Amino acid sequence: MMETKDSSQGTGLDLKPDSFAARFCAAYNCSPENFAERAAYLCLHPDHRFLAKCYWHFDRESFATDIDMITLLGRATNYDEFKLELETFRKTNPVHGLLRKELHLRVSGLSLLRLARQLFGESK
């Protein structure tokens, strides 16, 4: 499938009006260019959120996998699709390393699912 890109957005995201990215941008009043980073920051793992936010400002590149994942998830147009894409991404990109696995300096999958449920209007 060929990806369409609106040159005025400059993100490479296909922002269909019902996509996760479009819904997030509308709900959080952010531009498509800032979508993935804003969503990642909002969904940092709650176990060490303060430490993760400090580390985010120190070394944002360490969160590149999370940004890539959220960019991919941004195309989802319903909760079930979002959840399936998240599960697939997690299986092919397992969490490893001291910072990501042990200290949880990463985006929380559960926080992402809660956010998607909220934005897509899904109940538990």
Q: What is the pLDDT of residue 48?
A: 83
Please determine, for residue 57, whether its predicted confidence score (pLDDT) is greater than 60. yes
Kindly tell me the sign of the dihedral angle through the C-alpha atoms of 14, 16, 19, 22.
positive
Q: Does the pTM exceed 0.75?
A: yes
Higher pLDDT among residues 56 and 120, named by residue: 120
Phi first, then psi: what are they for 6, rounded to 5°?
-85, 115
**Which residues, 6+ apart, have CB-to-CB distance to 31 below 8 Å?**
9, 25
104 falls in which pLDDT band (50, 70, 90)?
confident
Angle at 38 between CA 35 and CA 43, to 5 degrees: 120
Q: What is the pLDDT of residue 52?
A: 85
Q: Whose CA is closest to 39, among 52, 28, 55?
A: 28
The residue-averaged pLDDT of 50-72 equals 90
